[in-house]
Amino acid sequence: MVIYTVRQGDSVYGIARRYGVSVQDVIGDNGLQNPGRLVVGQTLVLPAESVVHTVQPGETFSQIAALYGVTQQALAQANPSVTDPDRIDAGQRLVIPVTLPRLGSAEVNGYTTGIRPATLEWTLPFLTYLTLFSYEARADGSLASLDDAAPVQAARAQRVAPMMAVTNLRPEGGFSSDIAHAVLTDPAAQDALLENIVGALGGGEKYYGLNIDFEYIRPEDREAYNAFLRRVVERLHPLGYRVATSLAPKTSADQPGLLYEAHDYPVHGELADRVILMTYEWGYTYGPPMAVAPLDRVEQVLQYAVTAIPPEKILMGIPNYGYDWTLPFVQGSSARPLTNTGAVNLAAEVGAEIRFDPQSQSPFFNYYDSGGRRHEVWFEDARSIRAKLELADRYGLAGVSYWTVNSFFPQNRLVVDGTFEVIKRL
């Protein structure tokens, strides 16, 4: 697998020829809607295993290295027969070390809040778990129903373990501290919720396990949440179900804020089979423009998380979307959500050049709309996904979790397949 960044003057034909792959593969694998209109800074994932370059008259070692985006040192190491890089001959064949290494095996979870059947079928091969979002708990312990039969069946047909998500979302949207408090402090409501969860799991024929995603829990309900989690595990483990929880991205045990204080990393790490860290939304709808999941911020969360939770239980969150902000940013204004593919298409439409921020390891671009207003767009591409997968591997995590897999992003699957052997649990 090669991750190629488009340069000025590139064409699909020229890139395909340089790397020895077919034009059809470049177009199809990357889902290019207009192959004749590449964007400078856009990434393409190429199915190249090895590249051999024939030196052209006048070419230098440094020019060839730059052509393929590799260092001269790496090029020299791949061609030990070249004793003097300043003396290469036309017609000489050089091995180009462009293929990214695979990093071993990992689990991959994908959340869905409603996905088209065609996108689901395309996505399932690179998933370990498909988490259906969500069954909404009510204050009395009842559960709102979810139309989940078709995606559960499709997941099982491709050996993907379906997970049932339970949340404290309101019917009109938004997480409710009141619903969480009612369930966590009322024994009758909690008993009812447990019975309803067991019933919805389907007796082993439907769901593989449960994902508890309770957010914005009052700090004073922290111990009640820990006790509830213990009850869930004690009830579901004997029935053969796995239990996962979703946690806010904390950088310390005592991090203040309604989102963080009731999420007790050590207790969840002890009790749950998997812990999903929601490492995204630094750049968010009502905030100033920035990367949705800056790699440096994500790593700060991991640095604390692995001290409190066994790394082999952690799934690191990855966003599958971006945002378009209007500048100058005004507090209270909202950004427009974009798919990653939609962001590249927008850059093509407005004639923007995509840049890459080395600190956040994320792509972005600017443009002016028809009204003369400046915009800033941050999203994910093959480079940023690869950087996040490498980070998860470096910390020895169980794997990663995507929010969400609803939108079609072909490079995502290519990069995952080229980086990990995806573990199957069914």
On the CB side of 33, how many CA atoms lie within 13 Å of its CA? 10
Which are the catalytic amino acids? 215
Name the β-bridge partners of 317: 401
Nearest-angstrom CA–CA distance, 299 and 295: 6
Q: Which helix (H) or strand (E) holds 115?
A: none
Long-range contacts at 88-93 (CB < 8 A, ≥ 24 apart): 88/55, 88/59, 88/60, 88/61, 89/55, 90/55, 90/56, 90/57, 90/58, 90/59, 91/54, 91/55, 92/54, 92/55, 93/52, 93/53, 93/54, 93/55
Output the CA–CA distances (angstroms, integers) from residue 397 to 101, 108, 334, 390, 401, in the order listed.
18, 11, 34, 10, 11
Q: Are 40 and 7 in contact (CB under 8 A)?
A: yes
Tokens of 363: 């792509």
- R_g of the chain computed on alpha carbons: 24
CA 356 – CA 291 distance, rounded (Å): 11
Length of the chain: 426
Q: 112 by DSSP, 3-state: which?
A: strand
Strand 322-326 to strand 336-338: parallel, antiparallel, or no bridges (unpaired)?
antiparallel
Q: Helix 410-419 to helix 23-30 angle, to the nearest 10 degrees?
A: 110
Token pair listed for 258: 């309604």
Q: Where are the alpha helices (DSSP H) in 369-421?
A: 382-394, 410-419
Which residues on adjacent β-strands are paired with residue 325? 376
